[in-house]
């Protein structure tokens, strides 16, 4: 889904992650990359400008929240702005209502009508469909066949040319149903007749919702369509179809902003089941290759108590085994390491399986081994020579190899911290870098 957009956004963020310092120049660079990525995926230029201005201003002016370094702060802003500006979600309620479907021919309107009927039916609602598309030959056959398959009553009359008459009769015939979806005609272009008819249908049906169906493959012209339909009937939700087949999608997404509404659903395939409720947080996180960044940000704030870790001392060069243990504990509190990794913005980086064992199984062993160390050794691990190693192993019922492994792990984290000291972050816990080192 949206592969081009996704990979160029990911590249922009990867570049940011690779920078030693996140300063004004780095933010400008990121903003340029984001602009390029969005514009080449057909996102409306005006929107891109608004979005990038917000990202730039907030990144440079806002203080990073407690427990977050500058890099994570900027990532978070990118994510929040994408969610906020373009891709809001539309509320979908399970209550009696009438939904009017708008869109041009070929957008996937008829298929989506059936998909929606299925969606609400599965939620336990009594659904009926009216085929008010008197323009396209075969429209009634298509929708009634789909409805028969799912056992949803479908009202229509292929001989009748008056869409208002059909709809009036349909509303009477389907009055037992809790939810009625009206599939309207969609011509190849936005003609005056089409617009007049949909305005009349909106009045007649007193529609609760007016949803616009847009093909994800449409480019910049999607905004124009959305604008016209919105002016006519007040679109209050958009359904983007064929998201499974496009690498760009920015045109349809910009159209959403035109309606000042949000995305209600996404069509992700040809079968009647291929309809997804739109969840902006999950969607943007996937687009940016971040797993669930929102969840991470929230959990990171909870788990990392600055008091637990003497960051200042570590940054000055002091990092003891005790510090390492505290860091592992902080990570451990956040949940299974494997799950945490899925939430980190590491792109597609593959980590060796052993990395995940560190907190889950080895933590306990590390604790036992550390209990056999003297206070001096814990504070100054370089004291641990091979005879001390033997003694510690013996005391902990462990092998010298296990002790060696713990020391090795400690050294790896120490190196990581050294690397961080040169960079940004003001002594804040930098999980992303830390995790990167775990893989090496
Ligand atoms: P309408 O003219 O707007 O009513 O469009 P249709 O519902 O007839 O759909 C046009 C074509 O798009 C059909 O071949 C559908 O199977 C296809 N289509 C609709 N939605 C999707 C979708 O989400 N994914 C894919 N791959 N195809 C879709």
Q: Does the CB atom of residue 270 touch ligand 1 within 6 A?
A: yes
Tens digits of residue pLDDT in 319-370: 788 877 776 666 666 555 555 555 444 433 344 444 455 555 677 788 889 8
C-alpha 420/C-alpha 315 separation (Å) is: 8
- When the candidates are 3.20.20.70, 1.20.120.140, 3.40.50.1820, 3.30.470.10, the CATH number that belongs to 3-87 is 1.20.120.140
**Cα separations in angstroms, 380 against 102, 326, 384:** 71, 16, 8
Q: Where are the domains of the chain?
A: 3-87, 97-278, 304-439
**Cα separations in angstroms, 203 against 80, 104, 156, 232, 234:** 37, 20, 19, 11, 12
Q: What is the complex's ipTM, to 2 decimals? A: 0.99
The highest-level CATH class for domain 304-439 is mainly alpha
**222 CA to middle of ligand 1, Å?**
16
Q: Does the CB atom of residue 106 touch ligand 1 within 6 A?
A: yes
In this predicted structure, what is the pLDDT of residue 327? 67
Q: Does the CB atom of residue 245 touch ligand 1 within 6 A?
A: yes
**343 CA to middle of ligand 1, Å?**
34
Topology classification of domain 97-278: Rossmann fold (3.40.50)
Low-confidence ranges of the chain (pLDDT < 50): 303-311, 343-355, 420-440
Tens digits of residue pLDDT in 143-172: 999 999 999 999 999 999 999 999 999 999
- Same fold for the domain at 3-87 and the one at 97-278? no
* Closest residue CA from atom 13 of ligand 1: 108
Do the beta carbons of residue 189 and residue 153 sit within 8 Å?
Answer: no
**Entry pTM:** 0.67
């Amino acid at each position: 889904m949206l592969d081009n957009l996704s990979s160029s956004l990911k590249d922009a963020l990867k570049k940011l992650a690779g920078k030693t310092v996140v300063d004004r120049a780095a933010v400008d660079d990121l903003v340029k990359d984001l602009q390029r990525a969005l514009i080449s995926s057909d996102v409306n230029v005006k929107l891109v400008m608004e979005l990038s201005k917000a990202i730039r201003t907030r990144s440079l002016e806002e203080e990073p929240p407690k427990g977050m370094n500058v890099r994570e702060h900027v990532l978070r802003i990118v994510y929040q702005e994408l969610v906020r500006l373009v891709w809001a979600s539309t509320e979908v309620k399970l209550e009696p209502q009438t939904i009017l479907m708008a869109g041009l021919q070929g957008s996937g309107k008829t298929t989506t009508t059936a998909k929606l009927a299925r969606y609400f039916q599965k939620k336990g609602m009594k659904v009926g469909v009216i085929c008010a598309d008197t323009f396209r030959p075969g429209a009634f056959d298509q929708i009634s066949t789909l409805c028969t398959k799912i056992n949803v009553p479908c009202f229509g009359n292929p001989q009748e040319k008056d869409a208002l008459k059909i709809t009036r009769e349909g509303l009477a015939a389907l009055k037992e149903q809790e939810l009625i979806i009206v599939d309207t005609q969609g011509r190849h272009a936005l003609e005056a007749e089409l617009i007049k008819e949909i305005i009349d249908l909106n009045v007649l049906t007193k529609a609760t919702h007016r949803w616009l169906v847009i093909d994800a493959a449409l480019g910049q012209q999607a905004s124009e369509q959305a604008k016209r339909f919105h002016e006519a009937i007040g679109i209050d939700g958009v359904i983007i179809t064929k998201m499974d087949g496009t690498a760009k999608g920015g045109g349809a997404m910009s159209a959403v902003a035109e309606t000042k509404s949000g995305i209600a659903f996404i069509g992700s395939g040809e079968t009647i089941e291929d309809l997804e409720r739109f969840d902006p947080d999950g969607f943007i996180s996937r687009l940016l290759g971040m797993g669930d960044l929102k969840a991470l940000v929230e959990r990171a704030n909870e788990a990392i108590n600055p008091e637990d870790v003497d960051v200042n001392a570590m940054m000055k060069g002091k990092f003891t085994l005790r510090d390492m243990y505290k860091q592992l504990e902080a990570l451990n509190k956040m949940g299974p390491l494997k799950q945490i990794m899925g939430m980190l913005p590491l792109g597609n980086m593959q980590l060796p399986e052993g990395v995940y064992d560190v907190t889950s199984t080895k933590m306990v062993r590390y604790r036992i081994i550390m209990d056999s160390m003297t206070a001096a050794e814990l504070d100054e691990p370089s004291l641990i020579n091979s005879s001390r190693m033997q003694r510690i192993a013996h005391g902990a019922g462990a092998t010298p190899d296990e002790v060696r492994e713990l020391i090795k792990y400690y050294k790896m984290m120490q190196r990581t911290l050294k690397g961080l000291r040169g960079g940004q972050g003001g002594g804040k816990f930098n999980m992303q870098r830390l995790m990167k080192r775990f893989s090496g």
